[in-house]
Amino acid sequence: MESNMITEVSSGVCDPSAGQPHRAALILARGGSKGIPLKNIKNLAGVPLIAWVLRAALDSEAVDSVWVSTDHDEIERVARVWGAKVHRRSPEVSKDSSSSLETIQEFIRLRPEVDIVCHIQATSPCLHPHHIREALQMITEQGCDYVFSVVRRHQFRWEEVDKKDGKNPTSPNIDVAHRPRRQDWPGELYENGSFYFSTRKALETGLKQLGKIAYYEMLPEYSVDIDVDIDWPVAEQRVLRFGYFGREEKAAVRLFLCKVSGCLTNGQIFTSVSGEDHVAINARDVAGIQMLQRENIEVFLISNMNEPLSKGLLEKVAQLTGCRLQFGEQQNGFEMEQLMKEKKLCWNEVAFMGSESEDREILSQVGLNGVPCDSPVADLIAAKYTCQRPAGNGAVREFAEYILMLKKKSLLQVHQEHIDRANF
């Protein structure tokens, strides 16, 4: 990725002889969002908004620690579940009028070990690990004090005029008589708000004594910023195509394991006057399973001895869906390992949908995991996909569609993913 230096003077980076500088990623996530309440942890494409950038930061291997600065208990819980450390900010920097700079300055006062702060915005879900690595190198290797992200836009600007004055508006960046074609005009650079990296020294001086400054240009497909609720559907489609899904995003799923109670069913059992047990299966979920099977993804329904449904009823469900039933004593990791050996699969080729705390072991091992929105385990793990639908009401279909979307994404070539800026 190319970048340009704006100024060149002395660097604020620590002397390498004194050891490597401590690089901390910091995401500011105040609980009092005015536009969208608790926006930072609202689910975007099945993942909390803040988790998209946390995952990128954690997987970048360029930072020594990843922090979330917050004043809210629920944001703290989500941050910890996704692997971040938490800085509980003081009331003084948690006001509507508090600036990001004040909050970051409080953070570094309490963290004397931090030499470089990688301030990442939670509202930029298309951030990738390579963006963080490359921008950070501009500080650690090129001696910059301050690096910020930009995007190139081809927009003609016009100065605002008071209509009462009767003056004609003028454009500061085009000649109306010679309006350039998009492909003949390089465009202009705008801050996209994705991140701002800075040395400790620059932050301590309130960014008033900056030495070497640089910008890091991101391609437009990665430049997504959520500001208001109306942005949400657009951002969801963008993040599904251009977001970072984790280290296993390109692994092809070959086996889908789905718990019966709490996923395929909502846990309800109906008993007839004759004493027969009945269970309801949503037709959308059955269709979702069939979608996977048509794509040569094998589907197993799994259950254990604690299952409230009888084995006979479970076998009927398996027959209805055309799946094999894996019925074990506890469905623990050991039993799944045996299944992996039988199928000659590794964990990153397996997707699993669970719902109870007992499923956490398997959920943490598979390459792709999902949970219904109403499952008890949803608050306990960093699920790669949390369904919008509850168990027994289309959650399995929703997760199946997500699996197939990732499969399609993994098959796309890199050049197909990028916008051709020369011919757009």
DSSP character at residue 358:
G
Give the single-character DSSP code of 146. E
**What are the tokens at 59?**
């997987």
Catalytic residue among 80, 109, 179, 247: 179
Q: Which residues contact 234 (CB under 8 A, 6 or more apart)?
A: none
Distances (CA, A) of 155 to 3, 98, 124, 179: 21, 32, 21, 12
1 touches 216 (CB < 8 A): yes
Cα(382)–Cα(352) distance, rounded to whole angstroms? Answer: 13
**Residue in this structure with the two tokens 């599904």, named with its chain if needed:** 240
Q: Nearest-5° angle of CA 400, CA 404, CA 409?
A: 145
Whether 150 and 225 have beta carbons less than 8 Å apart is answered as: no
Does the active-site annotation cover 179? Answer: yes
Q: Which residue carries 């657009």 as its tokens?
A: 234
SS (HEC) of 178-217: HCCCHHHCCCEEEEEEEEEEEEHHHHHCCCCCCCCEEEEE
Rg of the chain over CA atoms, in angstroms?
25
Tell me how far apart the alpha carbons of residues 46 and 82 are, in angstroms, rounded to a whole number.
14
CA angle 232, 236, 237 (to 5 degrees): 125
Q: How far is Cα 326 from Cα 338, in angstroms, rounded to an integer?
A: 11
Distance between CA atoms of residues 140 and 116, nearest Å: 9
Which helix (H) or strand (E) element contains residue 137? helix 129-140
Q: Is 300 exposed, middle or buried (0-12, 13-18, 19+ CB in 10 A)?
A: middle
Task: Round to whole Å and give the CA distance between 25 and 222.
Answer: 19
Burial (CB < 10 A; 0-12, 13-18, 19+), residue 167, is: exposed
Cα–Cα distance measured from residue 99 to residue 238, given in angstroms and rounded to the nearest whole number: 29
Active site residues: 179
